[in-house]
């Protein structure tokens, strides 16, 4: 393979790739928080069909997998004739997007027009995750078009439910559907942010999460606070007391044992993070935050990457007149770091919140999801080739970093493949994920594609071919037989 030729072809055809991305952004593939569920369902179908077409055009065999009427389709793609002697690299991404009513009036452009203006592809999903997943699709297209001999067998697994719990892909993994592609060299996921506008990074850590909605039900109906105030426990008051019991005045989480399982961060890693230049004022301004906070002894980066959180996302109860509401609701999450256990913390949360209820009042929990934190040691043998790919793609020295967010499926993919996950984020923290005015820099899209192509070459060199373990090789034989 001649990487220079592949990169040259990428540069030459880049305008087409931007068109591919804008076409994908125009599909309103909302999987959560859609005001028009029918339009969102059609958007899901449209995005999945587009991806299949783009993958096929790139020389891969692609198909939709529909795992039941309630599920959004998975898109699965592989080489027409994979070499059973080579390991698999699994590429994961998601084509579904968050809703846009946050509020819609706060958007300064149509979230689904797929406009490309002033160096940005504008719209919901441009960065999270359509633009990022497309870098690898495009890189493999360019690699195959250049007549390169695949050093690994790429398998694309693209889902439409990342923003709402990844049910289909979890079902797919739980059914063991990936086993026939074993052994896996790596999983590649581009669904995160690089360290800075011109600072590419390999993300070696993700925070985990425990998320829950909760509701308190009290009186049968709203009551007049003149008649009932003081004698009927007020669900809003109870909710506020219960939630406030979870955090202290400095923002620390007040749950028994919450901080006990946190692993100390290696001194070398802390040193690497300390060396990263952070213009805190610019960062604050870009976020639009009035101020930033951190725990004593923490840098801003450490606070975001290696410290846990508790955020109340949602509050809803009563009405702005003198009522005692019948019910009220909230949603909250904790971001978790190695080695906090989300199940243990969920149980502690529920136990502590419920302590605030008087007799006959009920608290229910709903929409629970949990995810462990992810961590790849910086001395893992695949870190160096991934860094080299970034170096080639961006033309600058990359760094290792972590990410404050969670990608629940990463943990499932790691478990299903028994392989390390390379998190190559091409987004920016200012891309406005989940909020109004999401966007993706055309330049980042370009450099991401180049990085993805360079990664293919790196994987050709590393590691030296190794024989598949016995159980996996028998799996592989079955697959070769059925497809041959």
CB of 467 to its own copies, least distance (A): 39
Nearest to 232 by CA among 328, 318, 356, 358: 358
* 159 strand-pairing partners: 94
Nearest residue (CB) to its own copies, 402 versus 450:
402
Nearest residue (CB) to its own copies, 234 versus 388:
234
Nearest residue (CB) to its own copies, 54 versus 437:
437
- Cβ burial of 464 (10 Å; 0-12, 13-18, 19+) is exposed
Rounded CA-CA distance 404/273 in Å is 14
Nearest residue (CB) to its own copies, 403 versus 475:
403
Nearest residue (CB) to its own copies, 227 versus 263:
227
Rounded CA-CA distance 176/322 in Å is 56
Rounded CA-CA distance 255/385 in Å is 41
CB of 327 to its own copies, least distance (A): 11
Nearest residue (CB) to its own copies, 144 versus 239:
239
Rounded CA-CA distance 17/131 in Å is 10
CB of 399 to its own copies, least distance (A): 18
CB of 243 to its own copies, least distance (A): 5
**Torsions phi, psi of 284, nearest 5?**
-60, -45
Q: Please give the DSSP secondary-structure letter assigned to residue 162.
A: G
Residue 288 CB partners (closer than 8 Å, separation 6+): none
CB of 23 to its own copies, least distance (A): 25
Q: Which residue has the tokens 């939709």?
A: 64
Nearest residue (CB) to its own copies, 79 versus 429:
429
Nearest residue (CB) to its own copies, 276 versus 331:
331
CB of 291 to its own copies, least distance (A): 5
Nearest residue (CB) to its own copies, 288 versus 296:
288
Nearest residue (CB) to its own copies, 19 versus 311:
311
Nearest to 25 by CA among 120, 162, 156: 120
Nearest residue (CB) to its own copies, 385 versus 408:
408
CB of 110 to its own copies, least distance (A): 17
- What number of other Cβ atoms are within 10 A of residue 236's Cβ? 18
C-alpha distances in angstroms, 208 versus 55, 91, 178, 294?
31, 21, 24, 19
CB of 228 to its own copies, least distance (A): 6
Q: Which residue has the tokens 């995160």?
A: 192
CB of 76 to its own copies, least distance (A): 27
Whether residue 183 is preceded by a cis peptide bond, meaning omega within 30 degrees of 0, is yes
**Torsions phi, psi of 384, nearest 5?**
-60, -50
350 token code pair = 């529920």
Collapsing DSSP states into helix, strand and coil, what is residue 481? Answer: helix
443 token code pair = 């330049």
Nearest to 451 by CA among 388, 380, 384: 388
* 247 strand-pairing partners: 253
Q: Which residue has the tokens 């999903």?
A: 125
CB of 440 to its own copies, least distance (A): 15
CB of 191 to its own copies, least distance (A): 11
Rounded CA-CA distance 363/235 in Å is 10
């Amino acid at each position: 393979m001649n990487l220079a030729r592949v990169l040259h072809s990428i540069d030459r055809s880049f305008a087409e790739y931007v068109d591919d991305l804008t076409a994908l952004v125009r599909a309103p593939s909302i999987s959560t928080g859609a005001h028009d569920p029918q339009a969102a369902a059609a958007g899901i179908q449209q995005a999945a069909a587009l991806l299949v077409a783009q993958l096929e055009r790139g020389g891969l065999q692609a198909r939709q997998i529909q795992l039941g009427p309630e599920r959004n389709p998975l898109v699965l793609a592989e080489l027409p004739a994979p070499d059973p002697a080579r390991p698999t690299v699994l590429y994961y991404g998601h084509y579904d997007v968050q809703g846009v009513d946050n509020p819609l009036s706060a958007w300064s452009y149509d979230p689904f027009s797929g406009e490309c203006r002033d160096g940005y592809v504008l719209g919901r999903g441009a960065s999270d995750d359509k633009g990022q997943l497309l870098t690898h699709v495009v890189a493999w297209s360019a690699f195959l078009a250049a007549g390169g001999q695949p050093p690994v067998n790429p398998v694309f697994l693209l889902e439409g439910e990342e923003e709402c719990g990844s049910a289909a892909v979890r079902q797919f993994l739980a059914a063991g559907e990936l086993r026939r592609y074993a052994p896996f060299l790596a999983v590649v996921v581009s669904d995160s942010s690089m360290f800075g506008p011109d600072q590419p990074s390999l993300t070696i850590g993700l925070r985990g999460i425990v998320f829950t909605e909760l509701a308190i039900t009290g009186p049968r109906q709203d009551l007049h606070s003149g008649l009932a105030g003081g004698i009927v426990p007020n669900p809003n008051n109870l909710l506020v007391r219960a939630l406030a019991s979870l955090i202290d005045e400095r923002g620390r989480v007040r749950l028994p044992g919450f901080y006990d399982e946190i692993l100390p961060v290696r001194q070398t890693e802390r040193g690497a993070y300390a060396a990263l230049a952070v213009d805190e004022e610019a960062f604050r301004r870009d976020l639009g935050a009035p101020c930033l906070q951190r725990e004593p002894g923490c840098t801003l980066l450490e606070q975001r990457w290696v410290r846990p959180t508790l955020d109340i996302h949602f509050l809803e109860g009563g009405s702005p007149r003198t009522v005692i509401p019948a019910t009220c609701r909230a949603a909250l999450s904790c971001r978790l770091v190695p080695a906090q256990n989300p199940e243990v913390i969920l149980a502690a949360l529920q136990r502590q919140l419920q302590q605030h209820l008087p007799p006959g009042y009920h608290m229910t929990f709903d929409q629970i999801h949990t995810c462990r934190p992810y961590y790849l040691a910086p001395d893992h043998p695949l870190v160096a080739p991934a860094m080299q790919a970034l170096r080639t793609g961006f033309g600058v020295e990359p760094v290792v970093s972590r990410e404050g967010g969670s990608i629940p499926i990463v943990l499932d993919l790691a478990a299903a493949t028994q392989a390390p996950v390379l998190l190559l984020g091409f987004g920016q923290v200012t891309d406005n994920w989940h909020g109004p005015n999401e966007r993706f820099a055309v330049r980042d899209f370009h450099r991401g594609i180049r990085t993805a192509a360079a990664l293919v070459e790196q994987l050709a060199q590393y590691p030296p071919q190794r024989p598949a373990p016995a159980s996996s090789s028998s799996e592989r034989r079955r697959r070769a037989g059925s497809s041959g």
